[in-house]
């Protein structure tokens, strides 16, 4: 059986190239991610850092490790997806051979084993190829993470044997999981099919596909309804809509054998004027396996990438909008503690609220809903010292419990979160982390503030807890209200000439914050989704190459019927473009659902439906998909039509 | 070795329909027939007369809707898949019109395949001897695409011979061959019947092939309409032409 697997594998290596490469990339990524995670899990912390810097470095390392963990899981899942669709093709192509084996006395179990053996071979090849690629991958990921400032320059990621062992094992498991469904399908091939001239292609919509597809569709409808429901605020809407991007993409990709031909019919009504165009349209509807296999990864990619980018982007825009709504001021000055305190003395300035970032670690014991267990939440950023009175005059924000009026002395105001509850009167531990003034104290919670989208200024402490000397060099921003008749330009000029900081309008400041958040989003998306994009491209190229090779005889028949080679290529290209358009549009439907859901949540929270549709990214994805598919189709159809058609038409299998 | 009191294959009142409702077609209509042990029977008939369905049902590749198929004393109409697999391993061989060799395996690997699948250890010598007996001793390491059609069919026959199955089903074995290759294949089939007492059931369009058999069955509209013992090729051609005319008139009337 192993020999039969091996010979089948060798005979059809072109069919498996895509799958081997995707396993290899998966293995390489797992190895690289493990290497980085292992190094970041026990990172070298430079000597002589103060505790706050150390905490932030550890945070970054944790972020890098989390990101790598997610990337690893995505890589493994996508590799399974590609391997399974490759083997689905392989089984479809070989039904006759498999049926013949049954005629010759093979048991169902033996066919299953045959396919599983091929899966193992594929996994081994992928692992062998992935091992050297892993060393390149670790460089690329280290570079990316350094660019994104998760890792410091010169971060070392030593290699250990177990990284490779785990990666290779993952490769094997991925290949076996990928081949599992195909092996079951192979075992169902009836021996009679060996005798029938036209091998009946297996059904595309198998029962598990129906079940999983409809389940995902039902979840998507549920999530969309939840996102649009009255009670859904921005958090709920974003969470459900991001879920919708995943389930919706999976649903349409599972149901693609139904949906894609249907969309092809709609497209056919629009176009198909020439004979070549009509042939392409007929082929699109006829070659369901082919069109579905090409469109499915595109649907998932568009839904996931644009859905997530749109969600995160909208959240950032909404956070900016919320800041603008919340801040009641004319100018924002970014500066240091000492200099913002001088702003009040300038002509034309009515109110100044300084928010000074305190280098402090706050540990709060919170109620997570379990009476038996209390949990400690540790905060090391977003802790600001404020003058309560000035803060309240410049911020339209009501405490959920308690009051900011009481924020003086040993007091603290904290922001609530969906994950836990903080009660008034709770005593927290606060540790100031500056070498000159390191100390610890225990303020009491006097106010619980509503959660904000931006998550900034999450914890407020009274200004008078710190001496002016301490506050002097801490970074700060101040909200400035002007006198009714003051000239803003004069005030800005006065601030500039007194060197008290960088002045911006509230709107400018909020959008700068939004842009910063979005840059960070883009970085994270690049790491995670760049990977998915790579896999989607591999899956699409894989489907195109396999199906073109499969269509040699069909192309030859078209040519002996009178089409030129150019017309055959053009017809295949038109078909491929139509499939691309369908894939992108169907993915777009999911993205539209996601954005609608988010828009509703944001509108309910802020009273305005601000969303950020990632048009540029959408353009790049669609353009990239068209380029990749065009090149792959052109090259593979050229290759499939190289031989004189008559040789193929008259040849026997 | 053989249960001589049984026919190798018996069909009793076998019917088989395809399609549903308006599109329903009766492919076999109450067929009763015995294929005696150690005999070679050709099944002929116009296109759509049901001869392929007869072969499929007799070999257990399709289930008859009603009636019984008894293969070497075993009733196979309701047999589970595992039992049919065992039957294919031990009792049945197949030869097809389009050879159906596995393209990635060499001639000798193809020949050894049924035994390997059954978990039987086979010596290279035995395989070579079988290939030599079909005149392909020097082609053992060639892959199917490096062989002519006639040679490929001889490899397929060697594959069917190696396990010495008591019953061989042949589906248009000469359909894709020129006349001299066809002659070689028919001679090989004859040897299997006379030398080892195997039973052959062969569907064919070719009067010459049919005239090599011990007897010829004629099918029309899913029923056996005639049977001839050792007819000449010309007799077969005339009978077939008569049947085809009859069908045409029947349709026009």
Q: Which fold has domain B1-84+199-253?
A: Rossmann fold (3.40.50)
Mutate to test the interface with A, among B86, B94, B101, B156 (most CBs of A within 10 A): B94
Strand partners, A629: none
Q: What is the ipTM of this complex?
A: 0.86
Q: State the pLDDT at residue B253.
A: 54
pLDDT at B233 over 80: yes
Helices (H) and strands (E) in chain A, counts: 20, 13
Q: Report how far apart, in Å, the C-alpha atoms of A96 and of each of A184, B60, B100 are.
A: 16, 18, 8
The structure tokens listed for B43 are: 């099944």
> Exposed, middle or buried by CB within 10 Å (0-12, 13-18, 19+), for B36?
middle
The structure tokens listed for A265 are: 């019919």
Contact at CB, A192 and B89, closer than 8 angstroms: no
Strand partners, A367: A374, A421
pLDDT at B248 over 50: yes
Indicate left, alpha or beta for A296 from its phi (over 0: left) and psi (-120 to 50: alpha): alpha
- Would you place residue B116 in the very low, low, confident or very high pLDDT band (cuts 50, 70, 90)? confident
Element (H, E) at A414: strand A411-415
Whether A448 contacts A400, CB under 8 Å: yes
Sketch the domain layout of chain B as residue ranges: 1-84+199-253
Q: State the pLDDT at residue A493.
A: 87
Chain B hits for A105, CB-CB cut-off 8 Å, are 85, 88-89, 114, 117-118
Mean pLDDT of chain B: 88
The structure tokens listed for B186 are: 């028919």
Q: State the pLDDT at residue B44.
A: 93
Count CA atoms within 13 Å of residue A269 on its CB side: 5
Residue of B nearest to A107 (CA): B85
pLDDT at A601 over 80: yes
Question: What is the rounded CA–CA span in Å between residue A439 and residue A465?
Answer: 11
Chain B hits for A100, CB-CB cut-off 8 Å, are 100, 102
- Would you place residue A87 in the very low, low, confident or very high pLDDT band (cuts 50, 70, 90)? confident
Q: What is the pLDDT of residues A94-113, one digit of tens each?
A: 788 888 899 888 899 999 99
Longest dimension (CA), chain A: 99
Kindly report the nearest CA distance between residue B57 and chain A, in angstroms: 10
Mean pLDDT of chain A: 83
Q: State the pLDDT at residue B1.
A: 39
pLDDT at B3 over 60: no
Q: Quick one: DSSP state of residue A562?
A: T
Contact at CB, A100 and B102, closer than 8 angstroms: yes
Question: What is the rounded CA–CA span in Å between residue A451 and residue A458?
Answer: 8
Chain A hits for B99, CB-CB cut-off 8 Å, are 652
- Would you place residue A629 in the very low, low, confident or very high pLDDT band (cuts 50, 70, 90)? very high
Chain B hits for A650, CB-CB cut-off 8 Å, are none
Q: Report how far apart, in Å, the C-alpha atoms of B47 and of each of A637, B60, B136, B203, B233 are.
A: 37, 22, 34, 12, 19
Q: State the pLDDT at residue A442.
A: 87
Residue of A nearest to B149 (CA): A652
Picking from B124, B185, B137, the residue whose alpha carbon sits closest to that of residue B160 is B185
Strand partners, B203: B43, B171
Q: Which of B96, B105, B149 comes nearest A7 by C-beta?
A: B105
pLDDT at B13 over 90: yes
Q: What is the pLDDT of residues A533-587, one digit of tens each?
A: 888 888 888 888 888 877 888 888 888 888 888 888 988 998 899 899 999 999 9
Whether A336 contacts A473, CB under 8 Å: yes
- Would you place residue A376 in the very low, low, confident or very high pLDDT band (cuts 50, 70, 90)? confident
Q: What is the pLDDT of residues B81-106, one digit of tens each?
A: 889 999 888 899 999 888 888 888 89
Kindly report the nearest CA distance between residue A145 and chain B, in angstroms: 47
Cβ atoms within 10 A of the Cβ of A46, count? 10
Q: Tokens 């039992």 belong to which residue?
A: B83
Residue of B nearest to A1 (CA): B117
Please give the average per-residue pLDDT across B33-53, as a whole number: 92
Chain A hits for B176, CB-CB cut-off 8 Å, are 652
The structure tokens listed for A87 are: 């083997």
Chain A hits for B98, CB-CB cut-off 8 Å, are 197, 652-653
Question: What is the rounded CA–CA span in Å between residue A335 and residue A339?
Answer: 7
Contact at CB, A105 and B114, closer than 8 angstroms: yes
Question: What is the rounded CA–CA span in Å between residue A450 and residue A399?
Answer: 7
Contact at CB, A195 and B52, closer than 8 angstroms: yes
Q: State the pLDDT at residue A485.
A: 85
pLDDT at A651 over 70: no
Q: State the pLDDT at residue A652.
A: 46
Mutate to test the interface with A, among B80, B91, B110, B117 (most CBs of A within 10 A): B117
Question: What is the rounded CA–CA span in Å between residue B124 and residue B173?
Answer: 26
pLDDT at A3 over 80: no
Chain B hits for A93, CB-CB cut-off 8 Å, are none
Q: What is the pLDDT of residues A238-280, one digit of tens each?
A: 888 888 988 999 899 889 888 888 887 777 666 656 777 777 8
Question: What is the rounded CA–CA span in Å between residue A634 and residue A565?
Answer: 11
The structure tokens listed for A148 are: 């994104």
The structure tokens listed for A253 are: 């990709």
Q: CA dihedral in degrees (A479, A485, A488, A493; nearest 10)?
A: -110
Contacts 24+ apart (CB under 8 A), A390-394: A390/A351, A390/A352, A390/A353, A390/A354, A391/A353, A391/A355, A391/A460, A393/A328, A393/A351, A393/A353, A393/A481, A394/A327, A394/A328, A394/A329, A394/A351, A394/A353, A394/A479, A394/A481
Q: State the pLDDT at residue B40.
A: 95
* Percent of the residues in chain A that have a pLDDT greater than 70, as a whole number: 94
Chain B hits for A652, CB-CB cut-off 8 Å, are 98-99, 149, 176
Question: What is the rounded CA–CA span in Å between residue A596 and residue A612?
Answer: 11
Question: What is the rounded CA–CA span in Å between residue B175 and residue B206?
Answer: 7
Q: Tell me the residues of B at the A interface, defined by beta carbons under 8 Å apart.
A: 52, 56, 61-62, 81-82, 85, 88-89, 94, 96, 98-100, 102-105, 109, 113-114, 116-118, 149, 159, 171, 176
Q: What is the pLDDT of residues A164-221, one digit of tens each?
A: 999 999 999 988 988 888 888 888 888 888 777 554 555 677 788 899 999 999 999 9
Q: How many CB pairs under 8 A join A and B?
A: 71
Q: Quick one: DSSP state of residue A106?
A: -
Contact at CB, B88 and A195, closer than 8 angstroms: no
**What does the H/E/C string look like for chain B?**
CCCCCCCCEEEEEEEEEECCHHHCEEEEEEEEEEECCCCEEEEECCCCCCHHHHHHHHCCCCCCCEEEEEECCEECCCCCHHHHHHHHHHCEEEECCCCCCCCCCCHHHHHHHHHHHCCCCCCHHHHHHHHHHCCCHHHCCCCHHHCCHHHHHHHHHHHHHHCCCCEEEEECCCCCCCHHHHHHHHHHHHHHHHHHCCEEEEECCCHHHHHCCCEEEEEECCEEEEEEECCCHHHHHHHHHHHHHHHHHHHHC
- Would you place residue A125 in the very low, low, confident or very high pLDDT band (cuts 50, 70, 90)? very high
Whether A426 contacts A448, CB under 8 Å: no
Residue of B nearest to A651 (CA): B145
Q: Tokens 């069955």 belong to which residue?
A: B217
Please give the average per-residue pLDDT across A366-375, as a whole number: 72
Picking from B105, B139, B106, B156, the residue whose alpha carbon sits closest to that of residue A12 is B105
Chain B hits for A7, CB-CB cut-off 8 Å, are 102, 104-105, 109
Cβ atoms within 10 A of the Cβ of B25, count? 12
Element (H, E) at A354: strand A349-357
Picking from A156, A159, A142, A152, the residue whose alpha carbon sits closest to that of residue A58 is A152
């Amino acid at each position: 059986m192993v020999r039969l697997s091996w010979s089948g594998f060798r005979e059809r290596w072109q069919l498996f190239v895509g799958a081997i490469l995707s396993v290899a990339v998966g293995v390489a990524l797992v190895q690289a991610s493990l290497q980085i995670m292992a190094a970041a899990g026990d990172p070298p912390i430079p000597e002589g850092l103060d505790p706050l810097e150390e905490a932030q470095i550890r945070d970054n390392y944790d972020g890098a490790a989390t990101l790598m963990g997610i990337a690893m899981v995505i890589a493994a899942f996508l590799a399974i997806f590609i391997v399974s669709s490759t083997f689905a093709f392989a089984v479809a192509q070989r039904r006759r051979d498999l049926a013949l084996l049954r005629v010759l006395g093979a048991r169902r179990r033996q066919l299953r084993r045959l396919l599983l053996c091929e899966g193992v071979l594929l996994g081994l090849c992928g692992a062998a190829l992935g091992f050297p690629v892993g060393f390149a991958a670790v460089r690329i990921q280290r570079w990316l993470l350094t660019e994104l400032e998760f890792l410091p320059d010169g971060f070392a990621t030593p290699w250990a044997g177990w990284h490779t062992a785990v990666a290779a094992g993952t490769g094997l498991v991925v290949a076996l999981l990928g081949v599992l469904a195909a092996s079951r399908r192979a075992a169902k091939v009836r021996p009679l099919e060996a005798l029938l001239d036209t091998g009946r292609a297996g059904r595309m919509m198998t029962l598990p596909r129906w079940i999983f597809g409809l389940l995902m569709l039902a979840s998507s409808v549920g999530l969309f309804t939840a996102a649009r429901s009255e009670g859904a605020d921005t958090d709920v809407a974003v969470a459900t809509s991001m879920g919708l991007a995943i389930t919706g993409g999976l649903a349409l990709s599972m149901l693609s054998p139904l949906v894609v031909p249907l969309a092809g019919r709609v497209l056919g009504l629009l176009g198909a004027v020439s004979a070549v165009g009509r042939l392409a349209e007929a082929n699109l509807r006829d070659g369901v396996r082919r069109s579905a296999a090409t469109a499915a990864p595109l649907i998932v990619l568009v839904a996931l990438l644009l859905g997530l980018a749109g969600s995160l982007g909208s959240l950032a825009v909404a956070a900016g909008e919320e800041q603008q709504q919340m801040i009641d001021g004319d100018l924002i000055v970014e500066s240091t503690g000492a200099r913002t305190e001088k702003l009040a003395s300038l002509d034309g300035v009515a109110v100044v609220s300084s928010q000074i970032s305190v280098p402090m670690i706050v540990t709060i014991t919170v109620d997570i809903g379990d009476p038996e267990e209390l949990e400690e939440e540790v905060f090391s950023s977003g802790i600001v010292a404020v003058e309560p009175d000035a803060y309240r005059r410049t911020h339209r924000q009501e405490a959920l419990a308690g009051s900011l009026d009481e924020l003086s002395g040993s007091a603290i105001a904290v922001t609530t979160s969906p994950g836990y509850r903080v009660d008034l009167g709770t005593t927290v531990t606060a540790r100031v982390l500056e070498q000159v003034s390191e100390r610890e104290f225990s303020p009491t919670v006097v106010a619980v503030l509503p959660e904000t989208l931006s998550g900034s200024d999450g914890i407020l402490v009274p200004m008078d807890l710190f001496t002016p000397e301490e506050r002097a060099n801490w970074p700060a921003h101040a909200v400035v209200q002007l006198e009714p008749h003051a000239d803003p330009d004069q005030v800005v000029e006065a601030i500039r000439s007194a060197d008290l900081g960088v002045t911006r309008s509230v709107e400018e400041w909020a959008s700068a914050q939004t842009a910063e958040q979005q840059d960070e989003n883009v970085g994270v998306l690049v790491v995670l989704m760049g990977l998915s994009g790579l896999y989607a491209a591999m899956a699409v190229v894989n489907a195109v190459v396999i199906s073109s090779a499969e269509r040699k005889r069909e192309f030859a028949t078209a040519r002996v019927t009178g089409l030129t080679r150019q017309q055959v290529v053009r017809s295949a290209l038109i078909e491929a473009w139509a499939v691309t358009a369908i894939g992108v549009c169907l993915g777009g439907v999911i993205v539209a659902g996601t954005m609608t859901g988010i828009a509703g949540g944001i509108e309910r929270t802020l009273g305005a439906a601000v969303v950020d549709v990632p048009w540029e990214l959408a353009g790049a994805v669609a353009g990239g998909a068209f380029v990749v598919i065009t090149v792959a189709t052109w090259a593979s159809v050229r290759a499939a039509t190289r031989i004189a058609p008559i040789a193929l038409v008259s040849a026997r299998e | 070795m053989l249960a001589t009191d049984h026919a190798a294959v018996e069909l009793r009142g076998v019917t088989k329909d395809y399609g549903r409702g308006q599109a329903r077609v009766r492919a076999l209509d109450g067929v009763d027939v015995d294929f005696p042990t150690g005999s070679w029977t050709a099944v002929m008939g116009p296109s759509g007369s049901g001869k392929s369905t007869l072969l499929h049902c007799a070999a257990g590749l399709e289930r008859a809707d009603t009636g019984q198929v008894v293969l070497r004393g075993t009733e196979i109409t309701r047999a589970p898949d595992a039992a049919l697999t065992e039957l294919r391993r031990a009792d049945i061989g197949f030869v097809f019109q389009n050879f159906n060799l596995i393209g990635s395996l060499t001639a000798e690997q193809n020949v050894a395949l049924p035994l390997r699948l059954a978990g039987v250890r086979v010596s290279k010598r035995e395989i070579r001897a079988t290939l030599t007996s079909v005149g392909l001793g020097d082609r053992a390491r060639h892959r199917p695409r490096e062989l002519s059609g006639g040679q490929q069919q001889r490899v397929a026959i060697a594959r069917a011979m190696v396990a010495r199955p008591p019953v061989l089903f042949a589906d248009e074995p000469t359909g894709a061959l020129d006349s001299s290759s066809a002659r070689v294949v028919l001679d090989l089939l004859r040897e299997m019947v006379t030398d080892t007492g195997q039973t052959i059931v062969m569907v064919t369009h070719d009067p010459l092939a049919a005239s090599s058999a011990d007897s010829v069955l004629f099918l029309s509209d899913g029923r056996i309409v005639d049977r001839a013992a050792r007819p000449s090729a010309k007799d077969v051609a005339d009978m077939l032409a008569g049947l085809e005319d009859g069908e045409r008139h029947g349709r026009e009337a």
